[in-house]
C-alpha cells in the first residue's frame, strides 16, 4: 500500500537504452528537437548515446535544462518531442523520455557536475516562488553571475514538483538533487516566507535590480455546490498531504474523483495505491477530448479505476451522495462515497500583491513600466513543467535585456 505509493518506476538498463537509441533515424534538422518548448535537443543527445558517449549526452541535456532529471520523469513527451518524431511513420516514436531518464540517472550516479558557478556580475534579482519556473530562472541567472534570492512560502523548494506530483512518478529525492545543483550555483533560498502584500513586493523592487514572480496557481478550484461539504477535499490539498506524509494517510473503501486531467488521474491512482478499493472518476470530457496524458489515463485504468466520461456534477448531499448528469446523452449516475476529491483546476492566489492575471500576458514577460517580471503557470500557455522551464529561461533573457546586458 504505502510501499506501492513510494515505489518509483524502475529505470532502464544500458541495453534497453542502446536498443531504443539504435532505432533513431538521426534526422537532419530533427523534428523532435524543434518540438521541445525548452529547446532540448534529443537529436543531439541520442546521437551521443549511439556512440556510447553518455557524458557528452548528459552535458547536452543539462546545459539546456537545469531540471532535466525531473523533465525526464514527468514531461508529457507524447505532446511534444515524441509527437514530432519521424520514426512514427515507420512504427512508433522513439521513447525519448526513457533515454533522457537514463542519461540523467547516469549523471546523478556518477556525480557529474556539468554546471559551473559564474563570476559575480554585481546585479541582484529576487525570485518569488520556488516551483520549476522560479528554479529555472534562478539557476539560469546564477549561471550568468547574478546574485539571486528565492522567496518561497513553503518550507522546501519545488512547488508542485514537491507538493503535487505523486512520489511514485517523481520522488522527492530527485527534486532535492536538482534543487541542490541550483543551490551549488550560489542561489539563496528564503523559506516559509510568503510575499503577500504590495508593500513587501515594493521593498523587493527597490532592493533588487529585478523581481521575478513565479507564483504558479497554488490553490485548488472549488465548485459552489461542494463548498463547506465535509466529505470534499481539493485535489492539490489531498496530494500535498499524501506526499508530505510519505503515503501514511488513511483512505476510505470508496471515493469519487471529479475531473478529467492529469491531476484527477494522480488523485485516482494515489487513492488506489493507498488501498481505496472503489475509485470512480467522473470527467466532464468524453474520452475523445480527454486532457489527461495517454500514459496517465492508461495507468489509471489498468489500476482498476472506473472512469465515467462526459458527466458533470449536478447536486451533492451532506452525506456525500453526488448526482452526475451526462452532457450529451440522457443519463444520470448517483454515487455515494465518504470521500469526494475535486480535481477541476487550480487558481491564482496573489490578489493581495495588487497584480491581476491580465497584467501578465505581455510577451516581454515584464509588467509595463516596472522592474517586475513573471514566468511559469501564470503566463498564458501550456501548464506543464517543461513550459515553466521554457518561460524560466526566457524571463532570464528578458531581465538581461531590460538591464541592457549582453544576452547569452
Ligand X SMILES: Cc1cc2nc3c(=O)[nH]c(=O)nc-3n(C[C@H](O)[C@H](O)[C@H](O)COP(=O)(O)OP(=O)(O)OC[C@H]3O[C@@H](n4cnc5c(N)ncnc54)[C@H](O)[C@@H]3O)c2cc1C
**Site of interaction with ligand SF4 (CB under 6 A):** 24-27, 30-32, 42-43, 46, 85-87, 94, 96
Q: Is 133 in the site for ligand X (CB under 6 A)?
A: yes
The residue among 50 and 156 lying less far from ligand SF4, judged by its C-beta, is 50
**CA-based nearest residue to 133, from 167, 160, 94, 93:** 160
User: Which residues have a Cβ under 8 Å from the Cβ of 256 and sit 6 or more positions away?
Assistant: 279, 280, 281, 282, 322, 335, 337, 339, 340, 341
**CA-based nearest residue to 386, from 118, 61, 128:** 61
For the bound state, the minimum distance from the C-beta of residue 265 to ligand X, rounded and expressed in Å, comes to 9
Among 54, 126, 127, 214, interactor with ligand X by CB under 6 A:
214
Decide: residue 227, CB within 10 A, 0-12 exposed, 13-18 middle, 19+ buried: exposed
Candidate segments 80-88, 243-251, 332-340, 384-392, binder of ligand X by CB under 6 A = 384-392
Distance CA 293, CA 296 (A): 5
Candidate segments 8-16, 44-52, 175-183, 215-223, binder of ligand X by CB under 6 A = 215-223
The residue among 38 and 174 lying less far from ligand SF4, judged by its C-beta, is 38
Q: Please, are residues 311 and 197 in contact by the beta-carbon 8 Å criterion?
A: no
For the bound state, the minimum distance from the C-beta of residue 336 to ligand X, rounded and expressed in Å, comes to 26
Which grid cell is 59? Answer: 552535458
**CA-based nearest residue to 358, from 346, 369, 367, 370:** 367
Which grid cell is 293? Answer: 496524458
Q: Which entry of ligand X, ligand SF4, none binds 94, CB below 5 to 8 A by partner kind?
A: ligand SF4
Distance CA 57, CA 49 (A): 6
The total of other beta-carbon atoms located within 10 Å of residue 169's CB is: 17
For the bound state, the minimum distance from the C-beta of residue 316 to ligand SF4, rounded and expressed in Å, comes to 47
Torsion (CA) 245, 250, 254, 257 in degrees, nearest 10: -20
Distances (CA, A) of 310 to 167, 255, 294: 29, 18, 17
Candidate segments 154-162, 277-285, 324-332, 364-372, binder of ligand X by CB under 6 A = 154-162
Among 17, 61, 85, 130, interactor with ligand X by CB under 6 A:
130
For the bound state, the minimum distance from the C-beta of residue 292 to ligand SF4, rounded and expressed in Å, comes to 24
Q: Is 140 in the site for ligand X (CB under 6 A)?
A: no
Q: Which entry of ligand X, ligand SF4, none binds 24, CB below 5 to 8 A by partner kind?
A: ligand SF4
Interaction residues for ligand X, span 169-198 (CB under 6 A): 194-196
The residue among 34 and 120 lying less far from ligand SF4, judged by its C-beta, is 34
The residue among 36 and 279 lying less far from ligand SF4, judged by its C-beta, is 36
**CA-based nearest residue to 184, from 123, 133, 112, 98:** 112
Interaction residues for ligand X, span 11-70 (CB under 6 A): none
Interaction residues for ligand X, span 323-362 (CB under 6 A): 349-350
Q: Which entry of ligand SF4, ligand X, none binds 26, CB below 5 to 8 A by partner kind?
A: ligand SF4
Q: Which residues bind ligand X (CB under 6 A)?
A: 74-76, 128-134, 151-154, 159-160, 164-165, 194-196, 214-216, 218, 236, 239, 262-263, 266, 349-350, 376-377, 383-386, 388
Amino acid at each position: 500500500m504505502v510501499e506501492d505509493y513510494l515505489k518509483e518506476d524502475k529505470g532502464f538498463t544500458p541495453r534497453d537504452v542502446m536498443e531504443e537509441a539504435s532505432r533513431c533515424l538521426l534526422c537532419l534538422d530533427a523534428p523532435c528537437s524543434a518540438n521541445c518548448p525548452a529547446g532540448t535537443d534529443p537529436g543531439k543527445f541520442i546521437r551521443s548515446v549511439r556512440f556510447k558517449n553518455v557524458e557528452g549526452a548528459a552535458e547536452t541535456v543539462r546545459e539546456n535544462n537545469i531540471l532535466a532529471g525531473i523533465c525526464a520523469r514527468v514531461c508529457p513527451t507524447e505532446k511534444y518531442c515524441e509527437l514530432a518524431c519521424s520514426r512514427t511513420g515507420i512504427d512508433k516514436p522513439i521513447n525519448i523520455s526513457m533515454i533522457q531518464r537514463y542519461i540523467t540517472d547516469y549523471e546523478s550516479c556518477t556525480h557529474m557536475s556539468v554546471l559551473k558557478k559564474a563570476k559575480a556580475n554585481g546585479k541582484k534579482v529576487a525570485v518569488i516562488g520556488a516551483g520549476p519556473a522560479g528554479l529555472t530562472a534562478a539557476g539560469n541567472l546564477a549561471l550568468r553571475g547574478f546574485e539571486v534570492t528565492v522567496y518561497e512560502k513553503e518550507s522546501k523548494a519545488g512547488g508542485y514538483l514537491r507538493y503535487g506530483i505523486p512520489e511514485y512518478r517523481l520522488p522527492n529525492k530527485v527534486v532535492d538533487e536538482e534543487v541542490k545543483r541550483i543551490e551549488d550555483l550560489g542561489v539563496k533560498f528564503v523559506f516559509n516566507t510568503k510575499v503577500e502584500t504590495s508593500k513587501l513586493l515594493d521593498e523587493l523592487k527597490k532592493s533588487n535590480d529585478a523581481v521575478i514572480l513565479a507564483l504558479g496557481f497554488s490553490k485548488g478550484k472549488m465548485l459552489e455546490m461542494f463548498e463547506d461539504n465535509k466529505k470534499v477535499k481539493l485535489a492539490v490539498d489531498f496530494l500535498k498531504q499524501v506526499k508530505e506524509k510519505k503515503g501514511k494517510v488513511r483512505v476510505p473503501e470508496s471515493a469519487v474523483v471529479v475531473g478529467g486531467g492529469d491531476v484527477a488521474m494522480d488523485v485516482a491512482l494515489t487513492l488506489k495505491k493507498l488501498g481505496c478499493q472503489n475509485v470512480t472518476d467522473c470527467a466532464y470530457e468524453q474520452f475523445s477530448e480527454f486532457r489527461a496524458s495517454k500514459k496517465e489515463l492508461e495507468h489509471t485504468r489498468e489500476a482498476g479505476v472506473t472512469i465515467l466520461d462526459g458527466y458533470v456534477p449536478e447536486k451533492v448531499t451532506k452525506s456525500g451522495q453526488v448526482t452526475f448528469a451526462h452532457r450529451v446523452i440522457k443519463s444520470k449516475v448517483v454515487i455515494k462515497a465518504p470521500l469526494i476529491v475535486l480535481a477541476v483546476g487550480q487558481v491564482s492566489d496573489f490578489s493581495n500583491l495588487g497584480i491581476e492575471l491580465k497584467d501578465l500576458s505581455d510577451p516581454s514577460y515584464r509588467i509595463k513600466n516596472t522592474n517586475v517580471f513573471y514566468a511559469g503557470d501564470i503566463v498564458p500557455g501550456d501548464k506543464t513543467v517543461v513550459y515553466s522551464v521554457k518561460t524560466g529561461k526566457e524571463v532570464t533573457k528578458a531581465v538581461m535585456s531590460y538591464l541592457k546586458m549582453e544576452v547569452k
